[in-house]
Amino acid sequence: MKDLNYQLMKLCKANRDGSFSTQATRRRILDRIANQLHELGYKHMQAKSLKPKHVEVLVSLWKDQDLSVGTLKNLLSGLRWWARHVGKPDIIPKNNDAFGIGKRSQVAEESKAWELKEAQWEKISDPYVRLSLHLQAAFGLRREEAIKFRPNYAIKDDHIKLKASWTKGGRARTVPIRTDEQRRVLADVRKLARGGALIPPNKNFIKQRNHYDRQVRNARIKNPHGLRHAYAQRRYEELTGWKAPLAGGPASKSLTNDQRARDKGAREMISRELGHGRESVSATYLGR
């Protein structure tokens, strides 16, 4: 057992707040957080060394993993418990709005889709980061998938294939290659990465992900995940012939029976391409 996992387990045993179920859930959450911090490069961290930078990098990771609002709130609750019991309650904002985490609803009320502006592209100096962002925009990939992308494995004749170890929840999937722009992106990726991933030879995944985050912040890109939302909305219009509700299209309740069947099929396909197991998740990207 890693040091941090062990120390957090001891902290839980010494502070048995709540019911047995609550305590068990808290132990699982803190064990998960300790593992994630280890994977993020904080390999020798102590329970009492929790700092705002650790909170920031964890929240960034969780948002990138596309977790539900409920899951995000549970993770933050566990993090606040930890901070409180090591005498650092003030390092985490009390209101989840500070992290951009709202109410528990899978139906988005406003679009999070956006495209990178030319001025932002110019501030991304690392070619590996630039192509990771291009992959996110062209295929709706998550950050980790775009960094770990290995062209020799992934690029097929008419689709890309994502390995389970690259994806959230270990769900391998395929995404169709449909446009000339996608093919140009893949050609550039193949040329730069050669036989490897979109990670420079002198870095590992963690170091490149941290570098990616710095480049994105310097370019004043608040949420690269918006590229994934934009992909979903473009794909919806392509499959249905009309814009998604969040992009100014008609609400689902106003569709005819034939249109509703097309809407349902498009949402199911987009959910699969984005790596989700449920069609209902599409409402986060498309609205209802």
Shared domain for 59 and 147, answered yes or no, is: no
SS3 of the chain: helix, strand, coil, percent, to 5: 65, 5, 35
- Mean of all residue pLDDT scores within the chain: 91
Instruction: Give residue-wise pLDDT tens across range 93-120.
Output: 888 888 877 655 556 667 888 888 888 8
Shared domain for 181 and 154, answered yes or no, is: yes
pLDDT score for 285: 93
Instruction: Tell which residue, 111, 40, 63, 96, has the closest CA to residue 225.
Output: 63
pLDDT score for 98: 81
Model pTM greater than 0.75? no
Shared domain for 197 and 254, answered yes or no, is: no
Shared domain for 13 and 80, answered yes or no, is: yes
Instruction: Give residue-wise pLDDT tens across range 77-92.
Output: 999 999 999 999 999 9
Shared domain for 179 and 238, answered yes or no, is: no
Amino acid at site 125:
S
Of 160, 184, 218, the one marking the end of a domain is 218
Instruction: Give residue-wise pLDDT tens across range 270-285.
Output: 999 999 878 888 898 9
Of 99, 134, 150, the one marking the end of a domain is 99
Instruction: Give the residue numbers spanning the domain of 248.
Output: 229-286
pLDDT score for 104: 52
Give the C-alpha separation, 89 to 68, whole Å: 24
> For residue 58, what is the enclosing H or E element?
helix 52-64
pLDDT band at 62 (very low <50, low <70, confident <90, very high): confident
Asked if residue 157 has pLDDT above 90, the reply is yes
Shared domain for 70 and 152, answered yes or no, is: no
Instruction: Give residue-wise pLDDT tens across range 170-183.
Output: 889 999 999 999 99
Domain count, the chain: 3
Asked if residue 239 has pLDDT above 60, the reply is yes
| Residue 120 forms part of a structural domain | no
CA–centroid distance for 199 within its chain: 18
| Residue 107 forms part of a structural domain | no
Give the C-alpha separation, 108 to 101, whole Å: 12
- Supply the DSSP string of 59-88, one letter for each residue: HHHHHHTT--HHHHHHHHHHHHHHHHHTT-
